[in-house]
Structure 1
Amino acid sequence: MSTLSFVRRTLLIAVAAVVLAGCAGAPAPVAAPAVQGQALHVLVFRGGAAARLGHNHVLRAGDLRVEWAAAGPVLRFRLDALVVDPPELRAALGVDFASAVDADARAGTRANLLKALDAATHPEVAVRTLQQVGDGARRAVEAEITLHGQSRRQWFVVDVDGRRASGQVVVRQSDFGIQPFAVMGGLLAVQDALVVQFELVQP
């Protein structure tokens, strides 16, 4: 066996061990009553020198709760209710998410994610609308995002169609004091920047 083949085989075994180790004791997702057409997804991108051995991931907020305050919606969801890599979402996101992720890998990813986010100490994420600029179909919105016990203000664009609002925003984990997950000295990791996509329906 060549040195390169040996290193590659060793790396694959190590990655598998990390993922499978994370499966033990992972709490089950907490379901919440679904609102038709309402959702929040987080796109997580692979990184590191061995990124090709990993996967991009999509997370769904399984208990998304929305309050309609005077300034605009307030979103809340629990990290332990995140659903990792639902097959239907991966299929809808195209080739960059086309790789198959089995149940064991999803459980391992979820356990590692909750550990990296310190979900036991900071279980909830909140996004509170502070102000909206414009009153047409496309608006600039400033919101306060609370994650990992820290709050940051951020602007993003929202499209409004009647009682529906949709948009996306880039969130950097490091802005909230989170060290993005990595193994083996960063050979396999996730990128700092996450894309948060949402669609809300006002009752």
Structure 2
Amino acid sequence: MSSSPVWNLDASDGRLLVHTGVTGRAAKMGHRLTIAMTTWLATVRWSGGEPVEAELTVEVESLQVVKGEGGLKSLSGPEKVLARSNALGVLDAQRFPQIRFLANDIDKSDDGYLLTGTLEIHGVAQEREIGLRVEDLGETWRLSCQADVRQSEFGVKPYSMMFGSMKVVDSVTVSFTAERTKEG
């Protein structure tokens, strides 16, 4: 990869999505949500042609419910608004306005890089390893990764209703895809 001292990527360069599941006796009534985080910044610092540090900061308030699959009927506009409000409440967005991942150990892998660092959600920090895939598309690099995050490990109680007979699955899947134009 060609290098420059710092790469900055944001929502104009790609997508950061959260995919939820639903469980419980009344799970068939609920929707599996696709949530877009619409305000984020990824910064990659380079040295000697290799990435040495990567940081991702996500604004929790930017959470938008994109779609819902399953359920007894389609997810309506007002239900998307309610689902967003519930998610912001569960994440306590007022108190914890950002989610951060700081990788200060980056190693090459077969298809990209292994990023090791600290993920902070809801004021709780934990060490994580994330495999970042890098694809050469000719004019651009495509960066992508997917990671499962267990909400309860970060002090987040998954949303539930009807006395727990329908609730969001504790483990959510986060996916990231971005493209970066090659330089000179």
Matched letter for residue 35 of structure 1: S
In structure 1, how many angstroms separate the alpha carbons of the residues matched to 2:177 and 2:121?
Answer: 20
What SS does structure 2 have at the residue aligned with 1:122? Answer: coil
Alignment pair present for 1:74 and 2:55: yes
**Matched length:** 163
Runs of 4+ in 1 over 6 A off after TM superposition: none
Partner of 1:105: 79
What SS does structure 2 have at the residue aligned with 1:108? Answer: helix
Matches within 5 A, 1:43-122: 43-70=19-46, 71-84=52-65, 86-87=66-67, 100-122=74-96
In structure 2, how many angstroms separate the alpha carbons of the residues matched to 1:118 and 1:69?
Answer: 31
1:136 Cα deviation (Å)? 4.5
Partner of 1:154: 128
In structure 2, how many angstroms separate the alpha carbons of the residues matched to 1:67 and 1:139?
Answer: 15
* C-alpha RMSD of matched pairs (Å): 2.2
What SS does structure 2 have at the residue aligned with 1:67? Answer: strand
Q: Deviation per CA, 1:45-90, whole angstroms, max 9, x where unpaired?
A: 1111110000000111111211122423311111111111x25xx6
1:34 Cα deviation (Å)? 4.0
TM-score (normalised: structure 1): 0.72
1:202 Cα deviation (Å)? 3.8
TM-score (normalised: structure 2): 0.79
Q: Deviation per CA, 1:106-151, whole angstroms, max 9, x where unpaired?
A: 0010111111111110011111122222255243221311110111
The answer as to whether partners of 1:67 and 1:75 remain within 8 angstroms in 2 is yes
Q: Which runs of 5+ in 2 are unaligned?
A: 1-9, 47-51
Matches within 5 A, 1:138-177: 138-162=112-136, 163-177=141-155
Alignment pair present for 1:179 and 2:157: yes
The answer as to whether partners of 1:144 and 1:153 remain within 8 angstroms in 2 is yes
In structure 1, how many angstroms separate the alpha carbons of the residues matched to 2:105 and 2:134?
Answer: 15
Matched letter for residue 173 of structure 1: Q
Moved more, 69-78 or 107-116: 69-78
Matches within 5 A, 1:9-20: none
What SS does structure 1 have at the residue aligned with 2:39? Answer: coil
Matched letter for residue 118 of structure 1: D
What SS does structure 1 have at the residue aligned with 2:58? Answer: strand
Larger helix fraction of residues: 1
